[in-house]
Structure 1
Amino acid sequence: MSNTKENLFAHRNVFTKFLNAAATWTLHPLEVALTTRGREEECQICFIIGPPRSGTTLLFELLTTEFECAYFSNIAQRLYRCPVAATWLDKSAIKGRTGSFDSAYGQLSGHAAPSENGRIWRYWMPGASPYFAEGDGLEIKEMRQKIAGLCRILGSPMIVKYLHFQSEIPRIIECFPNAVFIHIERDWAENVRSILRARQKLNPNSHRQWFSTRPEGWEKYVDCDPVIQACAQVALCHAESQKNIPVSDKTIHIQYEELCEEQGASLQKVENLFRNNKINYKRLFTNKGKFDVREQEKFDAATEEKIRITLEEMKARIF
């Protein structure tokens, strides 16, 4: 992996930085008190893993509405130095949330909505991919206590979706040895089209700039055109998952298309995963019905042929 460093955090202006610091200082005693109450046996955690634009956000929100789950909310993201206290203050809204399914490129609206919470994980693990920042972060014991504190506050297991953990699975297993994993996969060509559309939308003036997660081996493709980059990203993400996620009863695999069309079957897999690993869960049976499979508009014939050929070459070379 590259050791290129990036800024961990950014604030809109000095005023918001001051407000965040003031709120953190005020909530620190509560954060400490709530964290120390967490017991290790309460630290039950499930990680969602998959390439960008593969359906991870849909799965994340579905699980947090179909099951009683703890998660990092948008307010915890803002108050990343005291997420347990932030969750305690907002617990009624989090518990009462029914889901909006209005995500925009991985972001859900509302202070109580689930968030990837990259700020928290970067603060806890500054040396992790893709930031490789200096700093010790939190001790493993403290991370477990904080997760246990969140589980205690919300009375349910923790669901985490943070795509950069694609490259940190061994570290995650070291920190949370009883963690379970849900790996989601989308039709590879559709996944590539979705990544390319997102790049066009979010980085219209920097279409060659690498987008989102950086799986092992991404550096080889950093100077390639966007189509090759997107194909490599999907293939390398799945290769990395296959290499690092335990092949055991702690892992299940879900297909995005099945999740949309046969929601019940996918949720039953999750329920079995929780039950087999003695995770205390409560199914709510909210009956969200079917979701539309977001089929991406195809590109011109030459680009589509390039996607097809490149993916075939990637599969032959990597797997």
Structure 2
Amino acid sequence: MRVFKKAKTKTLQLFGRGVLSPLESVLFWKYQDSLLFPPVFFLGAPRSGTTLAMQVITDVFDVGYISNQHCKYFGAPAIAEKFFHPTAERPRSGFHSIHGRTNSAYEPAECGQWWYRFFRRHPRYVDLKGANKRKMHRFRRSVKSLIDAFERPVVFKNPHAALRIQPIEKFIPESLYIVVHRDEIDNAHSLLDVRQKVHKDYGKWWSMEPPSIEQLEKLPAPEQVVEQVRRIYATINQDLSLSDVKPSKCFFLKYEDLCDDPAKEMDRLEQFFKDNECQIERLNPPPKPFPRRNSITIDAELYAEVKKYAEKH
């Protein structure tokens, strides 16, 4: 059964790349290259709260996004939207996810396979020198195709966008960014928790690899996760600066604030969109506040080491 599933997935991948992707270019080709609306990209460390933020935003606002159903057509999610509208009659979000992944067909998807049409898999960090110019033009066209199909702004949530800021801004300068932060110790705590659940090993790397990954891999686990978070944000800040991204194009969101008062944060986000001449309608009232974890879910001594390192360095 597993072999059949893998074969089916591989077949869909080849069909997506070989047939749907070129078809997307033909169906949505327009002489004019300008975008109807600015695309919005999430930036942040893994376990910083980007998934919850994405779920809240797509639940409250009438925006386009790649859902799990769209992702089945990752060669051309714009075709899925144009002909099937997978999220048109979606119910309200249940705000459930596992390690950044959602299950329902209508929920937001990271859809890594779509991103890998344009960006290399390794090394994860891609600056302008590492970007393939031809693929970047295809990236812009695919983003434009999605915006044209949705006829509204499209929000993209994939953690590795934080490691691809330079090419994104260079080839899609209309972009807006939502930068999500979480308490550093809580973020590191959550990373170790996922490592243990996924790998059964606190010392085994999980998720985003900043440019200094080789150095970080030599550190003990408590220091490693703290530095993983820090260096990802250092990379975000560096590349936003190098790309001359105006502060007005960035919306800074704290995970704790989102949990405590979703209504207030959605009001702030709505104003951010207005300030950037991006008109977005509301679909639903904001959800009630979310409870935040207040217990230690990893080895107590390991948590103490994380806390000690973060507070001393």
The interval holding the TM-score normalised by the smaller chain is 0.7 to 0.9
* Matching residue within 236, 244, 253 for 1:241: 236
Two-structure CA RMSD over aligned residues (Å): 2.7
- How many percent of aligned residue pairs carry the same amino acid? 24
Are residues 1:222 and 2:221 paired? no
Question: Deviation of residue 295 (structure 1)?
Answer: 3.4
1:95 — aligned with what?
88
Are residues 1:54 and 2:48 paired? yes
Assess, with a 3 A threshold, how the Cα gap between structure 1 residues 76 and 284 changes in structure 2: closer, same or farther. Answer: closer
- Quote the Cα distance in structure 1 between the aligned partners of 2:48 and 2:302: 20
The secondary structure found in structure 1 opposite 2:179 is strand
- Quote the Cα distance in structure 1 between the aligned partners of 2:265 and 2:59: 14
Deviation sequence 1:43-85 (CA, Å, 0-9, x none): 5211111111111000011111111111112133232212211
Are residues 1:119 and 2:118 paired? no
2:180 — aligned with what?
184
The secondary structure found in structure 2 opposite 1:267 is helix
- Quote the Cα distance in structure 2 between the aligned partners of 1:135 and 1:257: 34
Letter in 1 for 2:251: I
Letter in 1 for 2:210: P
Letter in 2 for 1:287: P
Structure 1, 212-221 or 257-266: larger mean CA deviation: 212-221
The secondary structure found in structure 2 opposite 1:47 is strand
Would you say the 8 A contact 1:49–1:184 is kept in 2? yes
TM-score, normalising length from structure 1?
A: 0.84
Are residues 1:284 and 2:269 paired? no
Which 5+ residue runs of structure 1 have no aligned equivalent? Answer: 1-9, 315-319
Would you say the 8 A contact 1:73–1:112 is kept in 2? yes
- Quote the Cα distance in structure 1 between the aligned partners of 2:298 and 2:119: 39
Letter in 2 for 1:126: R
Assess, with a 3 A threshold, how the Cα gap between structure 1 residues 141 and 48 changes in structure 2: closer, same or farther. Answer: same
1:155 — aligned with what?
151
1:16 — aligned with what?
9
Would you say the 8 A contact 1:44–1:148 is kept in 2? no
Assess, with a 3 A threshold, how the Cα gap between structure 1 residues 29 and 254 changes in structure 2: closer, same or farther. Answer: closer
Equivalent residue runs for 1:1-319 within 5 Å = 12-22=5-15, 27=20, 30-37=23-30, 39-91=33-85, 93-97=86-90, 98-126=92-120, 129-130=123-124, 136=132, 138-204=134-200, 206-245=201-240, 246-297=245-296, 299=298, 301-314=300-313
Would you say the 8 A contact 1:39–1:149 is kept in 2? no
Q: How many residues align?
A: 302
Assess, with a 3 A threshold, how the Cα gap between structure 1 residues 256 and 112 changes in structure 2: closer, same or farther. Answer: same
- Quote the Cα distance in structure 1 between the aligned partners of 2:247 and 2:22: 40
Letter in 1 for 2:253: I
Question: Deviation of residue 229 (structure 1)?
Answer: 1.3
TM-score, normalising length from structure 2?
A: 0.86
- Quote the Cα distance in structure 2 between the aligned partners of 1:67 and 1:15: 35
Structure 1, 57-66 or 207-216: larger mean CA deviation: 207-216
Structure 1, 77-86 or 44-53: larger mean CA deviation: 77-86
Structure 1, 249-258 or 106-115: larger mean CA deviation: 106-115
Letter in 1 for 2:287: K
- Quote the Cα distance in structure 2 between the aligned partners of 1:158 and 1:75: 16
The secondary structure found in structure 2 opposite 1:306 is helix
- Quote the Cα distance in structure 1 between the aligned partners of 2:82 and 2:298: 47
- Quote the Cα distance in structure 2 between the aligned partners of 1:11 and 1:135: 35
The secondary structure found in structure 1 opposite 2:28 is helix
Which 5+ residue runs of structure 2 have no aligned equivalent? Answer: none
